[in-house]
């Protein structure tokens, strides 16, 4: 069974219920010694959470979603939903009897995982997958992002403390690098199924692509590219549509080698120049290019931060990713990655780009 909690608050879910913006997931598996049987998850309807939920369902997990009483989110018919408040007693009761809990809460809800972990451990949950789908604890962040890293580290420390005191309780986290195909799935949550919803979501996807993806260097609607520095700074990323969900499913299917570990995964290692070549090959046309310096992007981001412009975050995220010579954005080598343990499929830049372009056709 799987329980899901929304991103704003933590709420448990049970078998046969639906995921909403924050939640816990659970699943029943057959082999008791090698697999966790019941799973709970948090934040099933968000960008990452919705795809993890879909992967769990596809893998045969029985999913239960715990959501806010007032939540309007909609989910598949083959999941259970528990509507409740976010109190510690309610979370504990909702997670009682579950083997595992998967959290996919967003940045705003990171600190609430301390209470979720407490509730899960008190309820007898055997595995808690922490929402830390970023670059992992060893990443060298720009100073502006240190405040984001502090609550993440506090949650991980709390999970380690609980696991140290209770050998029946374990935790895992999955570092993914950049969710590299996120533009192709913006607004396309698998929990929305009506035709009108799909039109609205696709329109939102195009709008988000126009607004955000160009900062990474590729305006996939107008088919133009902005190359930072030489465009050769390497980085790793994991796909939302395939990689992240498979990583979570793999951690639950292989609880022993993944216990009490920060797992490092990757779908591709690439750079802007390689992505541009793949975009041009996929579209059959040459894309006009402009060239900028990553330091200029970093400067603009910091000026926005100083003036209160909230769009500073994306500028600095991309500058942090693409700053030439920094070498900070390869979170794990292919040889050291945990992909094989987790049973993740092989992926490549060409197929990733084709999928992104197909999503906007």
pLDDT tens digits along 204-227: 333 343 344 566 788 888 899 999
Residue 178: predicted pLDDT: 87
Residue extents of the structural domains in the chain: 5-177+240-264, 182-235+267-331+345-359
> Bridge-partner residues for 282, per DSSP?
none
Most confident of 85-89, 138-142, 200-204, 250-254: 250-254
pLDDT tens per residue across span 146-173? 877 888 999 999 999 999 999 999 999 9
Q: How many residues does the chain have?
A: 361
Axis-axis angle for helices 294-307, 312-322 (nearest 10): 160
pLDDT band at 2 (very low <50, low <70, confident <90, very high): low
pLDDT above 70: percentage of residues in the chain: 78
Per-residue pLDDT at 339 exceeds 50 = yes
CATH code: domain 182-235+267-331+345-359 is 3.90.25.10
How far is residue 228 from each of residues 38, 247, 284, 299, 320, measured CA to CA in Å? 46, 31, 23, 14, 11
Q: With a cut of 80, say whether residue 353 has pLDDT above it.
A: yes
CATH topology match: 5-177+240-264 vs 182-235+267-331+345-359:
no
Mean pLDDT of 131-150: 85
CA–CA distances in Å: residue 191 to residues 18, 22, 40, 46, 71 = 9, 14, 18, 10, 14
Using CB atoms within 10 A of its CB, is residue 202 exposed (0-12), middle (13-18) or buried (19+)?
A: middle
Q: What is the pLDDT of residue 203?
A: 36
27: confidence class by pLDDT, cuts 50, 70, 90: very low
209, 228, 231, 212: which is closest to 220 by C-alpha? 209
Q: How confident is the model over 190-199, as a mean pLDDT?
A: 37
* Pairing mode of beta strands 268-270, 235-238: antiparallel
Q: What's residue 51's pLDDT?
A: 84
HSE-up of residue 249 (Cα within 13 Å, Cβ side) = 23
Of the pLDDT bands very low, low, confident and very high (cuts 50, 70, 90), residue 194 is very low
Q: Does residue 102 have a pLDDT over 50?
A: yes
pLDDT at 23: 36
Residue 269 has pLDDT above 50, yes or no: yes
Q: Reply yes or no on whether the pLDDT at 301 is more than 90.
A: yes
CATH topology of domain 5-177+240-264: Rossmann fold (3.40.50)
List, in order, residues 6 or more apart from 244 with CB less than 8 Å away: 48, 51, 52, 55, 133, 174, 176, 179, 238
- What whole-number distance in Å separates Cα of residue 168 and Cα of residue 340? 25
Q: Which residues contact 127 (CB under 8 A, 6 or more apart)?
A: 36, 39, 99, 100, 101, 169, 170, 171, 172, 251, 252, 255, 259
User: What span, in angstroms and rounded, lies between the C-alpha atoms of 132 and 134?
Assistant: 6
What is the average pLDDT across 260-270? 96
Q: What is the pLDDT of residue 295?
A: 97
Assess whether pLDDT exceeds 70 at residue 49: yes
> Looking at the predicted structure, is the pLDDT value of residue 180 above 50?
yes
| Residue where the block lists tokens 């970023």 | 134
pLDDT grade for 323, boundaries at 50, 70 and 90: very high
Q: For position 182, what pLDDT does the model report? A: 67
């Amino acid at each position: 069974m799987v329980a899901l909690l929304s991103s704003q608050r933590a709420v448990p879910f049970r078998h046969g219920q639906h995921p909403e913006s924050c939640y816990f997931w659970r699943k029943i598996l057959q082999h008791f010694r090698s697999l966790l049987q019941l799973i709970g998850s948090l934040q099933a309807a968000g960008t990452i959470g919705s795809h993890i939920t879909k992967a769990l369902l596809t893998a045969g997990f029985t999913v239960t979603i715990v959501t806010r009483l007032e939540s309007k989110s909609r989910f598949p018919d083959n999941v259970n939903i528990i509507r409740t408040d976010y109190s510690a007693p309610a979370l504990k009761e909702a997670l009682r009897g579950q083997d595992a809990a998967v959290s996919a809460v967003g940045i705003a809800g990171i600190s609430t995982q301390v209470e979720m972990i407490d509730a899960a451990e008190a309820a007898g949950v055997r595995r808690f997958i922490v929402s830390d789908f970023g670059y992992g604890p060893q990443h060298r962040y720009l100073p502006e992002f240190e405040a984001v890293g502090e609550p993440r580290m506090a949650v991980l420390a709390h999970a380690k403390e609980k696991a140290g005191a209770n050998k029946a309780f374990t935790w895992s986290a999955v570092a993914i690098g950049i969710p590299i195909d996120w533009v192709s799935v913006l607004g396309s949550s698998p929990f929305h199924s009506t035709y009108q919803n799909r039109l609205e979501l696709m329109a939102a996807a195009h709008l988000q692509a126009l607004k955000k993806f160009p900062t990474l260097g590729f305006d996939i609607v107008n088919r133009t590219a902005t190359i930072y520095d030489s465009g050769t700074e390497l980085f790793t990323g994991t796909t939302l549509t395939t990689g992240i969900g498979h990583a979570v499913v793999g951690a639950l299917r292989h609880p022993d080698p993944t216990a009490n570990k920060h797992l490092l995964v990757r779908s591709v290692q690439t750079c802007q120049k390689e992505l541009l070549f793949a975009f041009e090959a996929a579209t059959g046309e040459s894309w006009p290019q402009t060239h900028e310096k990553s330091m200029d992007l970093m400067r603009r981001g910091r000026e926005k931060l100083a003036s209160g412009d909230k769009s500073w975050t994306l500028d600095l995220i991309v500058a942090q990713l693409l700053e030439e010579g920094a070498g900070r954005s390869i979170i794990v080598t292919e040889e050291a990655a945990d992909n094989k343990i987790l049973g993740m499929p092989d992926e490549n830049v060409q197929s990733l780009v084709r999928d992104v372009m197909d999503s906007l056709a």
